[in-house]
Amino acid sequence: METPQHSDSPQKKSDLDDVIDTHKSWLKSVLGLGALEAKLWVTSSAQLLALMCGVIFLLLTTWLLIIASSAAIAWSYGFSLAGILLTATLVTFLSSIVLLYFVKRTLKSMDFTRTLDAIIPTDEE
């Protein structure tokens, strides 16, 4: 005599296999979607980086042309070449200090501890 449990065992195993296969296919599709999103993100990031390099090049060229134009105007008004070069050097140096200030301020504001605390709260909170 067979007990009903032995006759249901292959059916239960088949149902469990179906659930596992369904979950595996779902996980595979979710991971595939994540991989596709990552590829799109990397491609978009590379394009953005290339565009930003172009913008930086144009801004740098514009800045140098502004300095050169100011130097040419100063030269036409009779300023000495040494004074023009010294002023251009000073303006460029002061500009780099201002940019360094903005870099430091941005790096200081990039604090990931708030995100970490939101994900994994500490006992103190």
Token pair recorded at residue 110: 């990039």
Same domain membership, residue 113 and residue 68: no
Same domain membership, residue 71 and residue 22: yes
Same domain membership, residue 85 and residue 72: no
DSSP run (H or E) holding 45: helix 4-76
Same domain membership, residue 106 and residue 72: no
∠ CA 90-92-96, rounded to 5°: 115
> What is the per-residue pLDDT across 21-41, written as a single tens digit (0 to 9) for each?
888 888 888 888 888 888 888
Same domain membership, residue 68 and residue 89: no
Token pair recorded at residue 72: 């040419």
- Range of the structural domain that residue 91 is part of: 80-119
Give the pLDDT score at 69.
95
Same domain membership, residue 15 and residue 34: yes
Same domain membership, residue 51 and residue 101: no
> What is the per-residue pLDDT across 52-104, written as a single tens digit (0 to 9) for each?
999 999 999 999 999 999 999 999 999 999 999 999 999 999 999 999 999 99
> What's the whole-number mean pLDDT along residues 105-116?
75
> What's the whole-number mean pLDDT along residues 39-58?
92
For the entire predicted model, the pTM comes to: 0.54
- pLDDT score of 49 more than 90: yes
Number of residues that this document lists for the chain: 125
Residue type, 41: W
Same domain membership, residue 75 and residue 19: yes
Q: Which residue has the higher pLDDT, 9 or 54?
A: 54
- Inter-residue contact 68 to 87 (CB < 8 Å): no
